[in-house]
Structure 1
Amino acid sequence: MLYPQRNKYRHYIDLSGFWDFRFDPNDVGISENWTTGFEESVPIAVPASWNDQFAENRDFLGPAWYQVKFKKAWDWDKKKIFLRFGSINYISDIWLNGESIGHHEGGHLAFEFDVSDNILDDNILIARVDGRLAEDHVPPKGRVLGNYPETNYDFYPFCGIHRPVLLYAIPNGGIKDVTVITSIKEALGILDIKLETFGIIGATTRYSIMGFETELIKEFKIENEVQDITLEVKKARFWDPNNPNLYNLNIEIIKNNLILDSYSLRIGIRTIEVKGDELLLNGKPIYLKGFGRHEDFPITGRGYVPAVIIKDYSLMEWIGANSFRTSHYPYSEQMMDIADKLGFLIIDEIPAVGLTFNRTVIEREFELCSQYIQELIARDKNHPSVIMWSLANEPHSSVKSKEFFKNLYVLTRRLDKSRPITIVNMMGVREKAFEFCEVLCINRYYGWYLQPGNIDEACKSLSEEMDKLYERYHKPILLSEFGADTIPGCHSQPPEMFSEEYQAEFIEKYIDVCRNKPYVIGEHVWNLCDFKTSQGITRMGAMNYKGVFTRDRKPKMAAHLLRKLWKEKD
């Protein structure tokens, strides 16, 4: 799935701004024909979660209705026109000018509809959004945590239109999709490109690669709708965290000496693979230092806020991190673009957290997970920053989970053969799905949920479990979560739970365990920042306080400790 661009042949309009909004607590919108427009609305900001924008109804999860009016651009009459939604959580139904144009289930991933036959000069766009929790959703409703709203995961179930809504136009024949896989042979950078076109006969493609004194131009005839070609860049500048070199790849469709369509990609030439106990980037071992995170900020919830993206990257650079996982759902496309530019390494995770594998829902869970990984790879496949796919976080493993993940692994490997695949686990050596993973990711909280207050015994337990896990699978291990809730400004000597001193000691000693295991390829602290959760007796103020920064991005002691360990010492 290509992100819309603006050039001589393509254009888009961002519909973000203030929309009309209406809660529908009695679920009467469809029967009362709100699909053609509705009154008694209030203004709402798009994109942003609806939960914290108003003085009331924070925990109302749906359904709710959005509407916005817009005009068609004057020069779009001979174009194909699409409506693209960056993310709506959770279920969305869309109408344009009173006609249904589509349905989508699942948040955090982009979807779009061809509206070429629906669009008028003056238009009204309606979206019904339903974020109510259910056991057959992914992620599912839960009862285990004893929280409200009742999630099966430990973050708030924000609802709404979370990322930009774009109306875009492309030529009636041209570029449909581009896939680029890079490889390296000594100083040679190799680009295997798969180009998909539509509505084009008797045309030529022109490929141009520019950057770092390289000017490579090649032309090929279009003989069918899928074109596979290979380009080679001599004396290539490879992409890595210290030197995130990006080339510009431009593709043009030419017929009768006229350019009909054009699309540009920023390409990083790099390889990623698992070999023995090591994760290799461009053939050299790489150690991951970073975080699990959340898209979470006051008032906007999980909504797209460019300034917060910049702030978070600045904090991660300041602290010396080189990587993060998109826990527990894909992040915005803009977040991925900045990672490419800054050289961050990303474990890209589908929104499959807290899977239950209950017999009444397991088939639906697999359908949704399959949909999510297809949508995620289609969206993020060309990012050099994406080094691994994660198929789930902390699934509630059962006798059926092995076959579930085997089939999901096979699907993922068919879609992308160039990256390792993992599952983030809480079951340890009992996890059956580790058989299919190239990297073993484990979340561990000895010294917090288990052996609370006793960090030394916790580290002993962690060390013993890691050794047992490696002895069974002989695969590299990433400690993908570890941390301790910490109330900002709470201090104690000797350190005790919830104090900043305890969090700092906890993190430092866990890292020491990791650094003494040759098969450990990285450490991801949970979490970069404090974040919003459902209400519960274990979550004071409905917050998870495991961040090394506060929710408004102020450092705790642990942030300064990590800077010393990751940036100054390393």
Structure 2
Amino acid sequence: MVRAFDTHKIRKTRELSGCLWDFQTLPEEGEAVRLKTPVPGCWQSEPETLTYRGKACYERSFSAAGNIRLEWKGVSHTAQVYVDGEPVAEHYNAYTPFSAVVRGLPAGEHTLKVYVDNSFGPDSALHVPNDYQTYGGITRPVVLEELGGQYLSRLQVTPFLREGSWYIRAEGMVENLEDKPFDGSVGLYLEDERLAVLPVHAEAGETAAFAAEKLPCPKAEAWCPENPRLYFVSAILCAQDGQAADDLIDRMGFREIQIAGKDILFNGKKIRIKGFCRHEDHPQFGCSLPYAAMCRDLSLMRDLGANSVRTSHYPNDELFLDLCDETGMLVWEENHARGLSEEDMRNPNFERQCEDCIREMIEAHYNHPSIYIWGILNECASHTEYGRDCYQKQLALIRSLDNSRPCSFASCQFKTDICFDLPDVVSYNIYPQWYHDTPADAYLKDLYDWVQEETGGSGKPFLVTEVGAGGIYGYRTPEKVKWSEEYQAQALERQLNAIFSQEGCSGVYVWQFCDCRVCDSWFHVRPRTMNNKGVVDEYRRPKLAYETVKRIYRSVETYV
């Protein structure tokens, strides 16, 4: 299952995943492991490759003719793709999609090989040994699309409200694969209603853009967490003779996010965030969660009273975002970078890999109404001048790609951060009564007052983007010592009460929803080689903290 709906009716598509592929490891020494393995999936799910880190090859055959487009929703973490022995694509980063167009395939059977590498090293600035696991494999779906001479490569729609009525701005791109110019038109539709017909001219082998600035949608209903009304929006590409040549279908919701002083406004109403940070991680599936597991996670978060999820610390599977759109779960989505020092950020590949991730994230996920904010560079070097330059460039890139949403970053630099003039929302990760014993209310007030009095973040919305404590499932003790379920529940109660009592605080993300596997090098600070701060364990069994957070979240109104 690739998306929660069909993205084409005219273009012929088929999923190449959802089946077994030929797989073999390519170790630097020792014997290779050969087996049949499911795609999508992580090779850590196979007993023979449970701890393998390195290079491997996936292979399968397919039948096609003419022009095709292959899309990978996620490969962890570096991919090299070959069709019939010829290279067609390379990509770095496990968490963003990429594609390749192959022209003029002869009719018949063809071989597809994907070389995958999940090893750590100087070429990888973002995938490093970290407080979560870097799995290996083709971890998200693979799609084959049959193309004609031209195809629609992008459709972005931005809703906005003017004098009580909804409008959309639409823009997109047409790719001309032929060696002659193309003249045609693009029809834009909301559900079955045609909004506009735009002329398109593309030179031979070139890309043509189209745009409509203000398309009225007078019957549109607003999308919001309590009523997540979705609409299909589509573009149909036609030749000069009126014959439909291609289409592209997506979903959208009508909503606006604005910043008004210290408040985040959702459709004009001040909203309070009650969220969870969530890793894509499961003991059976690694980072390659099936649809039912995603649904289960969202069901539990809704039961907990949450209205938002943070995709810590990378862009998520688009199927999960589809579910957030459908269920009204607001999303903080961020690019892939966590806990990198200035030295790490000086890796020659760092800026390019971060910028590629931002572009791919926003271009792929722009139309999701559930995404209300973009984030970058979690807990990186925002306290240094070099780090500030990186933050400034990446936030500027986000704004150049999408000025309809605010942006932020989650800092852990206590009273040393020098970047709070850059984002729209000031965000802090804090762990009072876990990494230190300062009472939560005193710690938060001290931090908030410093932001208002001594930084460029004064007068902006303020979010607590991480807070929590570790608790090992089943470890119960009347002394309520750290790592016990009792201590975790007690700490979260004090933390959340302090946050919701703090004037000027727009909300919180509990760290975290579920326990997750970490890299082995973190063993000395992570019992079980797991990050144990989930309110449910890795199997989604609730800890004592579950009911504590549920009681508090359900007592707090979404709109203030």
Q: TM-score, normalised by structure 2?
A: 0.91
Give CA-to-partner distance per residue, 1:140-171, whole Å, 9 cap, x none.
53xxxxxxxxx1x2112211111011111233
For residue 112 of structure 2, the aligned residue among 117, 121, 125 is 125
Asked whether 1:440 is paired with 2:422, we answer: no
The residue type equivalent to 1:89 in the other structure is S
Residue 121 of structure 1: SS of its match in structure 2? strand
- Number of aligned pairs? 537
Asked whether 1:281 is paired with 2:281, we answer: no
For residue 354 of structure 1, the aligned residue among 339, 352, 364 is 339
CA contact (8 A) 1:138 1:353 kept: no
Match of 1:22 in 2: 24
Q: CA deviation at 1:338?
A: 1.0
Say if 1:174 and 1:19 are closer, same or farther in 2 by CA, change over 3 A: closer
For residue 421 of structure 1, the aligned residue among 403, 407, 427 is 407
CA contact (8 A) 1:53 1:299 kept: no
CA contact (8 A) 1:470 1:476 kept: no
CA contact (8 A) 1:423 1:434 kept: no
CA contact (8 A) 1:82 1:114 kept: yes
Q: CA deviation at 1:360?
A: 8.5
Say if 1:365 and 1:188 are closer, same or farther in 2 by CA, change over 3 A: same
CA contact (8 A) 2:8 2:247 kept: no
For residue 59 of structure 2, the aligned residue among 47, 61, 67 is 67
Q: Percent same amino acid at aligned positions?
A: 27
Residue 415 of structure 2: SS of its match in structure 1? helix
Pairwise CA RMSD: 2.3
For residue 301 of structure 1, the aligned residue among 283, 286, 297 is 286
Which shows bigger deviation, 385-394 or 117-126? 117-126
Asked whether 1:208 is paired with 2:189, we answer: yes
Match of 1:145 in 2: none
Partners of 1:361 and 1:17 in 2: how far apart?
41
CA contact (8 A) 2:57 2:115 kept: yes
Which shows bigger deviation, 521-530 or 167-176? 167-176
Q: CA deviation at 1:493?
A: 3.2
Asked whether 1:315 is paired with 2:300, we answer: yes
Match of 1:228 in 2: 211
Say if 1:135 and 1:468 are closer, same or farther in 2 by CA, change over 3 A: farther
Match of 2:222 in 1: 238
Say if 1:564 and 1:119 are closer, same or farther in 2 by CA, change over 3 A: farther
The residue type equivalent to 1:489 in the other structure is G
CA contact (8 A) 1:135 1:361 kept: no
Say if 1:119 and 1:128 are closer, same or farther in 2 by CA, change over 3 A: farther
Residue 522 of structure 1: SS of its match in structure 2? strand
Asked whether 1:48 is paired with 2:41, we answer: yes
Give CA-to-partner distance per residue, 1:437-481, whole Å, 9 cap, x none.
111111111211222xxxx63442233112212333212111111
The residue type equivalent to 1:15 in the other structure is S
Match of 2:450 in 1: 468
CA contact (8 A) 2:187 2:194 kept: no
Residue 343 of structure 2: SS of its match in structure 1? coil
The residue type equivalent to 1:418 in the other structure is S
For residue 537 of structure 1, the aligned residue among 499, 513, 524 is 524
Partners of 2:372 and 2:106 in 1: how far apart?
39
Residue 252 of structure 1: SS of its match in structure 2? strand
Q: CA deviation at 1:529?
A: 0.6
Which shows bigger deviation, 216-225 or 158-167? 216-225
Match of 1:450 in 2: 436
CA contact (8 A) 2:155 2:235 kept: no
Alignment of 1:249-268 (within 5 A): 249-254=233-238, 255-268=240-253
Match of 2:495 in 1: 510
The residue type equivalent to 1:71 in the other structure is S
CA contact (8 A) 1:14 1:165 kept: yes
For residue 137 of structure 1, the aligned residue among 124, 142, 151 is 124
Say if 1:359 and 1:263 are closer, same or farther in 2 by CA, change over 3 A: closer
CA contact (8 A) 1:96 1:119 kept: no
Match of 2:205 in 1: none
Q: CA deviation at 1:217?
A: 4.0
Say if 1:416 and 1:17 are closer, same or farther in 2 by CA, change over 3 A: same
